[in-house]
Chains A and B, each alone.
Chain A
C-alpha cells in the first residue's frame, strides 16, 4: 500500500494541473506519451545499455496511426495497431542490435533510427516528407468527442496507459527476468554461466521498450493529430535519454515525472527566453547529472527520508 501512495499523489497532481489549466491537458498528454517511451529506455538502462535511437519506435507508432487512420476510425484500435507495428520493428532490429553492447549498441540504434528518419523524409510520395501527415481525429471507444471532452478522454487514456505500463514494468523488473536484465550491466558473464542467455533477456526488454515507445508515439500522434519525420531524428532520441536520467531510473515513476518536468521546464524556458531555452535545458541536465545522479525520483526519495516519511 505504501508503494501506491506516491503513485496516487502523482496522479492527483496531474489531474489537478490538467483541471486548472486547459492548455496543460495537451502538454501533459504529450508528457505522458513521452514518459511511456522513456519507461522503455529506463528498462534498457537497467541493463546498462543506452539506446540513442528509440525515437525510431516513437515515429513508427505515430506513423502507424497516420497510415491506419484512413482505414479505421477507432482510436483504441489505432493504438493497438501502433503497438503491434513498433513491436514488430523492435523485434526485427532487436534481433540484430542485442548482439552488441555499450557504444556499439547505442550507435547501431542511432544508425537504424537515422535510416528510418531518412526513409520518412525520402519516401515523399508516401509520407509527404517534412510536411508530415495530418491525422483526422478518431473516435474513442466509439464516442466521437471534441474539444475539452476529447482532450480529457485522451489525457485519461494516456494516464491509464501510463499506470498500466508502469505497473507491468515494475512487476517485470521484480521478476527473475527483470533481475537477469539488471545482471547484464554488472556481471553478464556470470549470467551466461548460470545458463541464462543474456541476449535473450536483453531482446525481451528491447522489444518491450519498442512497444512502449510505439504506444507513446501513437498517443502523441492522437494528441497532435499531425506526424512529421522530426519524431525520428536523433536529437529526439537524445531527449528521451535525457528525460530518463532527469526522472531517475530507480523507480517506474521516474520516467513520467521526468517527462512532465521536462515539458514544463521547456515550455517555461521557451516562454521566458525564446532565444536561449536550449541552454536552460542543458543547464538543468548538467545540474541533475552532477548533483543528483539518481534523478528527480532520487531527490524525492532523499527528501522523504529526511522528513522521516521513510526510514
Chain B
C-alpha cells in the first residue's frame, strides 16, 4: 500500500508541475491552425432532441457552407457533436475529452440550462472558449462572472417580458390568468418572471390556477378540464416540443381556445407540426429575433437561401434552435475575422478570441446583434399573433412586434427577477409598432 501511495503522490506532483495544458498557448501571433475544431453539445436523444437535432442539422449545413467558401479566414471548420442527454456527469467527461484529447478550439454548449451551468466552470478551468448557443436561464451571467463563456442569444427575462408586454398592449383589460408549465427549472423560472413582472405592471390581475404537469406528460385532460371550469382570460404556457403540441391539440379538441386567450412564448417551434389546429389570435413567441419569414429580413438573400437549403435537406422549415446555432457560428466567424484583422493577419490566441467576442456586433440570418460586456447576448424579441393564410399549411405570424433589448432585458449587474419589478404600463406603451404579415 505504501508504495502505491508514494507512486500516486509522485505522479500527482509530476502532473501538477508539468500540466502543459494549463499554460495558455502563447499570447499573440499564433501560427495559423490547419483546422478550427468545434465541440458541440446538444440533445441527440430524449424529448429535447426535438430541438437538439435541428440545431445539429443547422450546424452541419452552415459549417459546410462556411467551408465551401474557405472556412474562417481560410481555415476550415470541423465539428464534433456530443449528446448531452445522459446528464451532467457524462457531459463533463465528454467536454474534457473534446478539450484535452480532441483539442477542440471552441465549445458550443448546450441546450439545457443545467448543462450550461455545469460547463461554464469547466470552461474556466480548461481555459476553453465556450459559446452557449441555446440555454436560456438568466442565472448564468447574473450569478457568475465567466471569462471563458459568452452567450449568443438572449435569455429567459426578455423571452418572457416581451410576450407579457405584447399581451398587455393588445388586451390591457386582462383580469384573470392561469399557467400550465412543465414542471422543471424552465417552467418554474419562466412563470416566476411572468408573475413578478405582471404584478408590477398591472397589479390586481388574478392568478386562478398554477398548474405544473410533470415534465414529459402525455396527457393534459385534467388540466384542460380545470381551465374550462375556471375560464381564465389568459392561459400562459412556456411548454415546448411534444408537450406543447399535445397541449395545443388537446386544448383545441376541447374548444379551450374559444374561452381563453393563449400566450405561448415557444410556439414558433411547434407551428409546422400543430398546423392550423392552432387557431388564429394566439400570441406566439420565438425565443428571439428569428423566424423563417422574419418581417425585416424575409427578402434577404441570406435568409431565403438558408431556409430553402435547410428545407431541401431536412424537409422542414427551420425553427429557433437552428437560428440559435446560426447565431453562435456567425458570432464565432465574426470574432475570428475581427481579431485577425486587429492582429494584422496573425491568428488570435484564445484569450483574444474571448476578448473580441465580448462587445462584438455581428450579422446573423435575420439581423444584427450584440454580445454585452458580461458575455450576455442582446437581441430583439419577435412576438406575433397566429394567423391562417392560404400560402402555408400552418399558421404564420401577424402583427409582429420586435421588442428591442433596451425594453425587455435587465442591464449588467442587475438581477432579472428584481429588475422586472420596475416595469410599468409606460414600458408597455413604448413597444414598437406592429408589422403586419405580408403575403
Contact = CB atoms under 8 A, between A and B. Distances in A.
Interface of A: 8, 11, 15, 19, 21-23, 26-27, 30, 118, 121-122, 124, 128-132, 134, 146-149, 151-153, 156, 159, 220, 223-228, 230-231, 236, 263, 266-267, 270-271, 274-275, 277-278
A23 B99 contact: yes
Given A23-B99, A121-B215, A274 B12 contact: no
Interface in B13-66: 15-16, 18-19, 21-22, 44-45
Nearest to A131: B185
Contacts of B296: none
Interface in B286-308: none
B114 A149 contact: no
B94 A270 contact: yes
B82 to A, nearest CB: 6
A153 to B, nearest CB: 6
A149 B19 CA distance: 9
A285 B185 CA distance: 33
A184 to B, nearest CB: 32
A22 B100 contact: yes
Contacts of A146: 125
Contact of A121 (B97, B113, B184): B184
Nearest to A230: B87
B4 A278 contact: no
A19 B117 contact: no
Interface string B89-110: 1101110110111000000000
A152 B113 contact: no
The secondary structure that dominates the A interface is helix
B184 A130 contact: yes
Given A130-B185, A132-B88, A226-B117, A274 B15 contact: no
Contacts, number: 129
B155 interface: no
Given A134-B117, A230-B87, A267-B93, A124 B185 contact: yes
Interface residues of B, number: 46
Contacts of A132: 88, 114, 117-118
Contacts of B82: 270-271, 274
B8 to A, nearest CB: 5
A149 B45 CA distance: 35
Nearest to B15: A148
Given A121-B215, A129-B185, A228-B88, A148 B16 contact: yes
B100 A15 contact: no
A86 to B, nearest CB: 17
A149 B12 contact: yes
A30 B8 contact: no
Given A129-B185, A130-B185, A131-B139, A149 B96 contact: no
Contacts of A236: 87
B188 interface: yes
Contact of A15 (B8, B83, B114, B183): B8
B206 interface: no
A19 B15 CA distance: 8
Contacts of B18: 148
A240 B354 CA distance: 40
Given A148-B19, A220-B89, A11 B4 contact: yes
B89 A224 contact: yes
Given A148-B19, A149-B19, 11 more contacts: A21-B100, A26-B96, A27-B97, A124-B185, A130-B215, A151-B15, A159-B8, A225-B121, A270-B94, A271-B82, A274-B81
Given A26-B92, A134-B121, A275-B44, A15 B11 contact: yes
A227 B121 CA distance: 13
B93 A263 contact: yes
Interface in B348-366: none
Given A132-B114, A149-B15, A225-B121, A231 B22 contact: no
A226 B88 CA distance: 7
| Of B8, B22, B183, most A-chain CB atoms within 10 Å | B8
B112 interface: yes
Interface string B67-98: 00000000000001111001111101110110
Contact of B16 (A15, A27, A152): A152
A69 to B, nearest CB: 13
The 7 closest A-B CB pairs, nearest first, are: A226-B118, A149-B16, A23-B96, A152-B12, A23-B100, A131-B185, A129-B185
Interface in B138-167: 139
- Scoring A124, A146, A266 by chain B CB atoms within 10 A of each residue's CB, the highest score goes to A124
A243 to B, nearest CB: 13
B118 A128 contact: no
Nearest to B126: A147
B87 A231 contact: yes
Interface in B111-138: 112-114, 117-118, 121, 125, 137
A155 to B, nearest CB: 8
Contact of A129 (B92, B118, B188): B188
Contacts of B45: 275, 278
Given A230-B87, A275-B44, A19 B16 contact: no
